[in-house]
Amino acid sequence: MVKKLPKVDAVIVGSGWAGGIAAAELTKAGHKVVILERGRDKKHEDFMGTKDELRYSKRYDLMQDLNKETITSRNSLDKKALPVRDNSKARLGNHTGGAGVHWNGMSFRWLPYDFEIYSKTVERYGKEKIPKESTMQDWGITYDELEPYYDKYEKTAGISGEENPIGPPRSDKYPNPPLKETPTIRLFKKATTDLGYHPYHMPSANLSQAYVNPDGEKLNGCVYCAFCEEYGCDFGAKADPIGTVLATARKTGNLELRNGANVTRVGHDGKRATGLVYTDTMTGEEFEQPADIVVLAGFVFTNTKLLLVSKIGTPYNPKTGQGIIGKNFTGHFNNLSTYIGARGFFENKKFNNFMGTGALGATIDDFSGDNEDHSNLKFLHGYEVHYGQLGTRPIANNQVPEGTPAWGKEFKKQSLKYANRNLFITAQSGFLPNKETYMDLDPTYKDSLGNPLLRVTVKYAEQDRERAKAGVARCAEIMKEMGADTMNVDVVEDDVEFDHKFYTDHFFGGAIMGESPENSAVNTYSQMWEMENLFVVGGSSFPHNSNYNPTGTIGAFAYRAAEGMNKYLKDGGLLTQSELKENA
């Protein structure tokens, strides 16, 4: 028996950046909002004294409890998918603030090329350059149209950055100066400059100084304590939803954030969403929370699963290419798109590797997106090469030169010697969508409530491997220039396949945006074409993955979606259509 609750203006799944931004903007406009968050209540107080590598980096204390729900994974259509059973393969966000609590804070803008990737590729290289397996498409929006929302997000989060010498135009500078420059960053910047590239500090949500954002929320300056990724900030110095947008929404008196509410489906009558059905994780009781608008702002997997289970939209079929829900799954994959590169070992230099913060470091954009000419390359899109000084921690930091045993006397000796004598640079590359990389419901495995798990199928294409190889070679070139005595350079094998690791938390697609219902689930306001009071916000709306970390772009699109929601609550209708009318 589902108990029906009193109706509100908007009900939102998830309290991460996407849900938090929507909640802040809706409540500021006077709307009553309920956020349903299945994880526990978290405050900054929970993160004090948090510097515990075992608990947070090895036992994944802040991540989704896979005992209750996970995903299944396979790397080709003809295989049976297996469940991802262990958090070391899936660091998915959970609890109040979601993954926005334990992120590193890298906050990039994506490129004009990304949003018009199909047109710009055809324009520069011709149609034949696009591989036949590719399902890449324009997003239905340009960088210039999105720019004001980037600016808004960056001001909310207090992004600390240095101007990118070859970056896209900005309407304003970063709200805070870049983080400090360290000896190793100087080394990277000098080497890349000498090679003719254009290094700059990575834009960071770890703040370089104390800051008050436009909503009046206060953030501290980062102290470089090196417990950032996988940790909540001990110091209130990393922008997260708890200290910014959720606090802003709470101040209005219009927000109720309901923890322990595990949403299982979207209630609807085929034309309109009526609310969200959830299970109280304390009692097992089922409730329906009715609302005028329904917002799915969970992670990619949550949003896609809810649409499929609720039978909204047409599921994508990889055999026919028909359907849209679940289509264009992309991401940053461990053995292909990030965490691979060159590790240098230095005999006569010692670095303070144990100091750092999440987004501290520098990168080059010379090979990002379509910044280099791909005419003679066997791939489209590109990679950024960065050195990051996150701060190494001792259980994980056991780097040894190739050929050293992985245990025993020699291992101990070398791992101690090189603990502070190694540096790593990585190439993070884009991943373009293809016909056989998608999500649907698993036929075998179920979650703890008896609903099917989401099944993810990932097939690497030739061009993805070529892009990764080019990125790794660039890392080796730069590491050599940085003066490493020896190097471990990762090898991208010709037959490398997806290794079932969903470790980066950078995953996209499933309810992608576009300019028409023909090729997309939502418009650029994240509004469902076929259910106009349902908004599906976050990485699930991205038709492909760029070579940058996604949060800045998720924040920008969430602000655009929130603007659309407020407009919809006032006027109704499909937002892009009324926009067209206004511009006509």
Partner 1 sequence: MSDNNYKNTASGEQQKQQDMSRRKFLKNSGLVAGGLVGGSLFGGLLTNSFDSKKEQKMEKHKDTLIDVQEAMQFFTRHQDFLVLMAATEQIYPEDEHGPGAIKLGVPYYIDKQLAGRWGINGRDYRHGPFTAVLDESDQSAGPAGEQSILDRGDIFIQGLRKLDEESQKRFGTTFDKAEEEQQIQILQDFDDDKVKMNGLAASEFFALLIQSTLEGAYSDPLYGGNRNMEGWKMKEFPGAQTSYAGYIDQDEFIKLEPVSLRDYQGH
Among residues 66 and 534, whose Cβ is nearest to partner 1?
Answer: 66
79, burial (CB in 10 Å: exposed 0-12, middle 13-18, buried 19+): exposed
Residues 61-90 that bind partner 1 (CB under 8 A): 65-67, 69-70, 75, 79, 82-89
One-letter amino acid at 402 equals E
Stretch that binds partner 1, among 23-31, 225-233, 471-479, 483-491 (CB under 8 A): 225-233
Least Cβ distance, residue 459 to partner 1 (angstroms): 12
Cβ atoms within 10 Å, residue 172: 11
Residues 473-502 that bind partner 1 (CB under 8 A): 497, 499-501
Give the span between the Cα atoms of 513 and 134, in whole angstroms: 16
Among residues 147 and 240, whose Cβ is nearest to partner 1?
Answer: 240
Among residues 457 and 576, whose Cβ is nearest to partner 1?
Answer: 457
Stretch that binds partner 1, among 108-116, 294-302, 438-446, 556-564 (CB under 8 A): 438-446
Q: Which residues are catalytic?
A: 506
Among residues 54 and 491, whose Cβ is nearest to partner 1?
Answer: 54
Least Cβ distance, residue 427 to partner 1 (angstroms): 20
Give the residue among 317, 342, 290 at the shortest CA–CA distance from 477.
342
Whether the CB-CB separation of 234 and 48 falls below 8 Å is answered with: yes
Least Cβ distance, residue 128 to partner 1 (angstroms): 31
Give the one residue of 37, 38, 39, 60 binding partner 1; rule: CB under 8 A. Answer: 60
Whether the CB-CB separation of 238 and 247 falls below 8 Å is answered with: no
Residues 134-193 that bind partner 1 (CB under 8 A): 180-183
Give the span between the Cα atoms of 558 and 555, in whole angstroms: 5
Give the one residue of 33, 205, 226, 470 binding partner 1; rule: CB under 8 A. Answer: 226
Among residues 137 and 204, whose Cβ is nearest to partner 1?
Answer: 204
Question: Is residue 224 part of the contact set for partner 1 (CB under 8 A)?
Answer: yes
Stretch that binds partner 1, among 4-12, 208-216, 284-292, 465-473 (CB under 8 A): 208-216
Among residues 339 and 354, whose Cβ is nearest to partner 1?
Answer: 354
Q: What mask of x and - would describe binding to partner 1 in positions 360 to 399, judged by CB under 8 A? A: ---------------------------------xxx-xx-
Give the one residue of 28, 51, 170, 250 binding partner 1; rule: CB under 8 A. Answer: 51
Whether the CB-CB separation of 88 and 60 falls below 8 Å is answered with: yes
Whether the CB-CB separation of 51 and 234 falls below 8 Å is answered with: yes
Q: Rounded to whole angstroms, what are the CA distances from 372 to 119, 139, 363, 367, 382? A: 17, 22, 16, 6, 8
Residues 227-286 that bind partner 1 (CB under 8 A): 227, 234-236, 243
Give the one residue of 252, 352, 371, 486 binding partner 1; rule: CB under 8 A. Answer: 352
| Largest distance between two CA atoms of the chain | 75
CA 350 and chain centroid, separation: 33
Question: Is residue 311 part of the contact set for partner 1 (CB under 8 A)?
Answer: no
Q: Count the helix, strand and coil residues of the chain and give each as a percent rounded to the nearest 5.
A: 25, 20, 50
Q: Encode burial over 185-198: b for 16+ CB neighbours within 10 A, e otherwise.
A: bebbbebbeeeebb
Least Cβ distance, residue 354 to partner 1 (angstroms): 5
Least Cβ distance, residue 353 to partner 1 (angstroms): 9
Residues 88-127 that bind partner 1 (CB under 8 A): 88-89
Residues 6+ away with beta carbon under 8 Å from 425? 188, 341, 342, 344, 385, 386, 387, 475, 478, 479, 482
Among residues 247 and 512, whose Cβ is nearest to partner 1?
Answer: 247
Phi–psi pair at 237, nearest 5 degrees: -115, 5
Give the one residue of 54, 166, 449, 491 binding partner 1; rule: CB under 8 A. Answer: 54
Give the residue among 29, 109, 8, 140 at the shortest CA–CA distance from 564.
29
Give the one residue of 355, 489, 569, 574 binding partner 1; rule: CB under 8 A. Answer: 355
Q: Please, what sign has the CA dihedral across residues 109, 363, 237, 358?
A: positive
Least Cβ distance, residue 177 to partner 1 (angstroms): 13
Least Cβ distance, residue 169 to partner 1 (angstroms): 31
